[in-house]
Structure 1
């Protein structure tokens, strides 16, 4: 605290900083969900699944999720750390990168940003051609799923393994790319590209979650089946985040950067 700063002023400044971090997480999660899920709903199969002459397909959706993380992290990552994902926040707290007391506020902000995004996507879809919104909802509204609701028909165990493993790998990349020894300025690129890779692997498995906020936001509009299965896409990514956060220092924290000759 500066010498001329009163306790009241310090408290106000701290609260303002906290609100700014929450706003950054709302914004970043909104961009992530609106961009990624919006691409899946409007552009993956265009003009329709039977005549997908202009659709972007799996590759386009994977790139959309990765690009949204890149642009949002560059925009507001310096404010909040650029989590945009409850599993990332949990992993960061477990790794000692942020105080545990900040976790609930981040989670609420992330859920708010994700739900706002899918609500606006639903409003846009309602103005589409006849049946567009109902078809999107009947198709799960880009929700995650297992069994008959998995794009490739993968069972619950396969989905849990994929979500835990891929979320943990995602956290290892994030923690490594944002460490003090990393090259400044390149973290958003590494994180966004890793998320693209994760989607390329797992869209056929379960439509890719690795993010409970994204899964909850889409399940709200994906119908009863999506809501019934969303628990997997809350618990499995959080477990992956916990594992990575708890083991990052043990695996990588004591390594010293290689010396250049």
Structure 2
């Protein structure tokens, strides 16, 4: 209960502190009308919106808005697609942490903000900021977007694995909801299953699932490097250092992401330390 209350307070603080920015936007109303202008703030169920050329803002009920299209090219968020594509999650997380807060009061309104929230989730988790993942997941879940809600749950599960082990995650995967959100054979389910077995020190079964992940999702840029890193860890655990080192060398050669190459180096260093 205390943890949930703390996360809620963090979320409220972020949103409350972000409501005074002026954001260039295109507003699509459910009536079919379209307006360019500036969002000044949000107050409850109303937006303060100043159309281009108008002398003063007008209130716009949130319920009347079909979608928003923010002008990211004029903000610090213009580089996030490039950073995400290169796998530079640490830099991406820093950029998003700094520039996303002014947009968060509008997070649940359909908009081009949703892909940025997806990037924020991934960058926060893969850069190892587990203490922040649940906060970001809570914000993402507010959007009521099915894909983003699934991603928020997935990264929350990975965070629970890091913090509490498999006790909370394993039963959920076996529920009807868990099977529906993460079907058998999907990359997220395979990754979580392999990580659970790794934590339970069932390294051979974990290796089999990790191999399936590489074989079936090896062309997926979001999953290939993470799957290969997991395989390297499991090769070390199953007494196959030559295979592990071959995978790590391949990772260093094939991926430009500084975070991925840094993780590969850390896995190799940890194995050397454990065997000294």
TM-score, length-scaled by structure 2: 0.27
More strand by share: 2
Higher relative contact order (CA 8 A, sep 6+): 1
TM-score, length-scaled by structure 1: 0.28
Structure number with greater Rg is: 2
